[in-house]
Amino acid sequence: MTDHTTPAPETVPEAAPESGPQAAPAPDSTESLQQQLVQSLMGIIGAPDDAETARAADTVLRALDARLAGRAAAA
């Protein structure tokens, strides 16, 4: 019996190395936190009664707030 759910290794696309302006931001960068916040808020829109989704969004929001407050204090 053949498992048709797993592609053969030669058919799996290789991830291209990311470079240049389209490269993903560093995981802890302000831009990355902003993107995570947008995704978290979209998750809340999709599941407004999910407390875990709300907690995750709150965590991202607090991290972004701390990052931006640190930037303002340094300026």
Domain membership flag for residue 11 = no
Domain membership flag for residue 41 = yes
Write the single-letter amino acid at 67: R
Domain membership flag for residue 9 = no
Q: Residue 64 belongs to what domain range?
A: 26-74
Write the pLDDT tens digit of every residue in 10-62.
544 444 444 444 555 566 699 999 999 999 999 999 999 999 999 999 999 99
Q: DSSP letter for 36, please.
A: H
Domain membership flag for residue 14 = no
The pLDDT score that the predictor gives to residue 20 is 44
Domain membership flag for residue 19 = no
The total domain count for the chain is 1
Domain membership flag for residue 17 = no
Domain membership flag for residue 12 = no
d(CA 65, CA 36): 13
